[in-house]
Amino acid sequence: MSSHSCVSRIRRAYGLKRVGHGGTLDPAVTGVLPIALGPATRLLPYLESDKTYRGVIQLGVTTDSDDLEGQVLEQRPLPNLSPEAIGEALAPFRGAIQQRPPAVSAVHVNGERAYKLARAGQCPELPPRPVTIHRLELLGWDPTQGQIDLEVHCSSGTYIRSLARDLGEALGCGGSLARLRRTQALGFDLAQSVTLEQLEGEPPALLNPLEVLRHLPQHRLDEEGLAGWRCGRLQDCDPSWALEDAVVVVNPDGNLAGMARVASPGQLQPKLVLDAAG
């Protein structure tokens, strides 16, 4: 099922038209798909952007999509590898790196999605982009199948298919992604998730947005500040907050009032006002 199909199921379950998801999952990928309902869709850009995956890389196989769903381009014999050798090969992929997205991806090329160009027989040359791999752990190595089991905690925009391709090249045999599960996205993990089957009965209760915005600084309005906030006026704030930082703004009663950015030292500029005056 595609991410779009998941959104359609949730629209029906909650009887709402305004539903959005935070980060597309390819149809072959399982795991966490954060969903926002109603006005909360406007909060998606403010959630934590890092993601965590558990995946299996198949060595010895290169495909046009960098996963086993694609057309096989080349097959090579498996080298005699030890876990130590694989660990050494993983080291250069940790931290801030330049990564070339897969040819079959949602990256824009001259206003067109790369995957559409690839399916039309064109081969777009996608430039490398900066990404960060915060954690990259070798969980297992099956030398009989040539499969590497990894856990990856990375920045938004990182492609695990590209990691599979590049690791295979580093090991001299090529590689493609065999399986992938997203275990954490935008601050949500599998333990918080509900299955699509659970939507068929009573839809699960929704999370309070303040719960998922807790990684950001918070500014509480008083009654006087609330009136100005609803009119879009600048607000005084903690002068130690960094410029351009996002800040959660709450009403005097503690409920979410919206989002702001630090426009200048000690000054908040409203960016999202949930109950604007007029």
Instruction: Please report the pLDDT score of residue 215 as a whole number.
Output: 94
User: 237 falls in which pLDDT band (50, 70, 90)?
Assistant: very high
Fold of 51-185: Pseudouridine synthase (3.30.2350)
Mean pLDDT within 46-58: 96
**What are the residue ranges of CATH 2.30.130.10 in the chain?**
216-273
pLDDT at 172 over 80: yes
Rounded to the nearest 5 percent, the helix, strand and coil shares of the chain are: 25, 35, 40
Instruction: Please report the pLDDT score of residue 113 as a whole number.
Output: 54
Instruction: Please report the pLDDT score of residue 198 as a whole number.
Output: 87
Q: Which segment of 28-32, 73-77, 262-266 scores lowest on mean pLDDT?
A: 28-32
pLDDT at 118 over 60: no
Mean pLDDT within 187-212: 89
b/e string for 37-61 if b means 16 or more Cβ within 10 A?
Answer: beebbbbeebbbebbbbbbbbbbbb
pLDDT at 104 over 80: no
pLDDT at 42 over 70: yes
Mean pLDDT within 104-132: 65
Mean pLDDT within 75-97: 96
Rounded to an integer, what distance in angstroms lies between the CA atom of residue 238 and that of residue 266? Answer: 5
Q: Which residues does the annotation mark as catalytic?
A: 26
**Beta-carbon neighbour count of residue 205 at 10 Å?**
7
CATH 2.30.130.10 fits 216-273, yes or no: yes
Sign of the alpha-carbon dihedral angle for 224, 228, 229, 234: negative
User: 137 falls in which pLDDT band (50, 70, 90)?
Assistant: very high
**What are the residue ranges of CATH 3.30.2350.10 in the chain?**
51-185
Instruction: Please report the pLDDT score of residue 55 as a whole number.
Output: 97
